[in-house]
Amino acid sequence: MVTFKINSDSPALIKILMSITTGILLTASFPPFLGWTAWIALVPLLISLENESSSSAFKLGFLAGITHYMTLIFWIVVVLKQYGGLGIEISITILILLCAYLSLYPAVFSFLTRVIPHTRFPALSAAMIWVSLEFIRSWMLSGFPWCLLGYSQFEQIRLVQISDITGVYGLSFLIISVNCLLSRIILDKYSKLSKRILRLETATVAIILFMTIFYGQLRLTESLENKQGQTINAVVIQPNINQAIKWNPDFQKETMELYHRLASSKYDSKPDIIMWPESAVPFFYQDAPAYSDIISKIANDSNSWLLFGSPAYQVSDQHMTRYYNRAYLISPESETADYYDKVHLVPFGEYVPLKKFLPFIDRLVYAAGDFASGENLMPLNLPDIPLGILVCFEAIFPELARAQTRNGAQILANITNDAWFGRTSASYQHLAMASFRASENKRPLIRCANTGISAFIDRYGRITSKGGLFTEEVLTSKITADTSFTFYSVHGDVFAVTIFFICLIKMIHLIYVHHKK
């Protein structure tokens, strides 16, 4: 049992409340709430850490984390109970366990800020620690980079442009630096930090912030001549099909008629491509000639390419069947031109990790699929325009969009089914994260969701148009392909990796010095 024994003169309850406040402010930073709260969210926690032992700091950070994640990803209960078929007790237990794991990151952050309190530049050092921990979270245990702090600023387009150099981690670095400076300024009369060092660090962060805004403005006003390719007319179909009946065979005909009706309403606009969401076709497209004919007719009658999701399977030479979450591309001549199999699957949603070693875990995931991972990240080719496909939550993994871009994608396409989230904040958060894939690679992104939120996102990460949530929508837009490469496209997370190794070297040095003593 975790107990709080606060070593400072301030009452323990006040510090606990300050830690909880940080958790609430962090959640409020993400959509559909207020992004500006991110710039002050950590201040209460950082103030509460003053004069605390490292163990107490760990507990306060953990409390801030558990408050934040329980209010941020509460929608997991909706997914597991309503659609996963699990009881409320098991669903809440799984949520608590996941939140406890995620809370270790702010706990370690708080711990380390107390372990190395005498660093010359505490604000910048704390920002480096935070970014290092976010980077670890992005790949640890297959990765869960949901709502990294920088994503809270997705609407601040000038700031967002730095992501084509640093990825989302650059914004996280800035936000933590400002939070730490504010806390140091508030606590300055109680600390040993000299006025000169404080002014120097404040000036440094101010210069970085100014340069970030200046760079963003330059990016937004740059000439796009010779950087962009062909323009296509895209149509996005958001059918708003109830997840509870989506896979019921009795509704398959009705589903296909709905797609036909919505698609045909835009034939006059002469679309170059029509997009349907992930698993739009609730059957094996490869094995359903009656319904496949409807799909072929839509592609043929519209004289456009058709991109849609469908489950698929492949039987190996050993008579083993492997299932895939697939995106098909159908030509105007009604031929299957190409397909993409989802590479990064959802743990416990599309596969069970370590299933051979943890057979007992099956009882928790009756609704989980048993999909195999795709084998490549190659774009699907329209005439002269390669499309980089991201299926569902692949959009929150920047390395996948970057790989598609490096492999030639000129437009990114994210097909998803966010119906699992219900009417929660998750759909808004998912869209915000997807927008960064456009700004990082300077590629326009088309997003097609079953129940929302479908959107068109330009090369700068601006959401130029979007549909509603749980509404039937048909969106159209002209999309211009892009062929240029950004620093991030070429070099990836070099910013986060560099910071991670700097922190690692510093930790090793501190351990060495402590051991010598």
In a domain, 304, yes or no: yes
Domain membership of residue 26 as a residue range: 12-222+493-516
Annotation says 517 is catalytic: no
Which amino acid, 227?
K
Q: Please check whether residues 163 and 260 belong to one and the same domain.
A: no
Q: Please check whether residues 275 and 420 belong to one and the same domain.
A: yes
Question: How high is the pLDDT of residue 341?
Answer: 93
* CATH code: domain of residue 271: 3.60.110.10
In a domain, 6, yes or no: no
Question: How high is the pLDDT of residue 363?
Answer: 42
Q: Please check whether residues 324 and 354 belong to one and the same domain.
A: yes
* CA separation for the pair 293, 425 (Å, rounded): 38
Question: How high is the pLDDT of residue 420?
Answer: 86
In a domain, 1, yes or no: no
User: What pTM did the predictor assign?
Assistant: 0.91
* CA separation for the pair 59, 55 (Å, rounded): 6
Burial class (CB within 10 angstroms; exposed 0-12, middle 13-18, buried 19+) of 284:
middle
Annotation says 503 is catalytic: no
In a domain, 3, yes or no: no
In a domain, 5, yes or no: no
Cβ neighbours for 352, distance < 8 A, ≥ 6 positions apart: 358, 361, 362, 365, 368, 370
Query: What residue spans of 140-193 are helical by DSSP H?
Result: 157-160, 163-166, 169-187
Burial class (CB within 10 angstroms; exposed 0-12, middle 13-18, buried 19+) of 71:
middle
Q: Please check whether residues 247 and 356 belong to one and the same domain.
A: yes
Catalytic residue among 201, 278, 350, 440: 278
Catalytic residue among 342, 440, 448, 473: 342
Give phi and psi for 6, each to the nearest 5: -85, 135
**Averaged pLDDT in 10-residue chunks for the chain of 517 residues:** 48 90 97 94 94 90 97 90 78 92 96 78 92 95 92 96 97 97 80 72 94 95 69 94 83 89 91 94 83 86 93 82 91 88 81 59 50 89 92 94 96 93 93 97 96 94 95 94 94 96 86 67
Question: How high is the pLDDT of residue 327?
Answer: 94
Q: Please check whether residues 404 and 261 belong to one and the same domain.
A: yes
What is the three-class DSSP state of 156? Answer: coil
Asked whether the beta carbons of 244 and 450 are under 8 A apart, the reply is: no
Q: Give the tokens for residue 457.
A: 């996102």
In a domain, 4, yes or no: no
Q: Please check whether residues 142 and 82 belong to one and the same domain.
A: yes
* CA separation for the pair 107, 10 (Å, rounded): 20
Cβ neighbours for 517, distance < 8 A, ≥ 6 positions apart: none
Q: Please check whether residues 249 and 267 belong to one and the same domain.
A: yes
* Number of domains, the chain: 2
Which amino acid, 51?
N
* CA separation for the pair 175, 308 (Å, rounded): 38
Q: Please check whether residues 325 and 365 belong to one and the same domain.
A: yes
In a domain, 149, yes or no: yes
Q: Please check whether residues 166 and 239 belong to one and the same domain.
A: no
Q: Please check whether residues 181 and 271 belong to one and the same domain.
A: no
Annotation says 342 is catalytic: yes
Q: Please check whether residues 47 and 86 belong to one and the same domain.
A: yes
In a domain, 427, yes or no: yes
Catalytic residue among 99, 147, 180, 392: 392
Which amino acid, 481?
A
Q: Please check whether residues 311 and 451 belong to one and the same domain.
A: yes
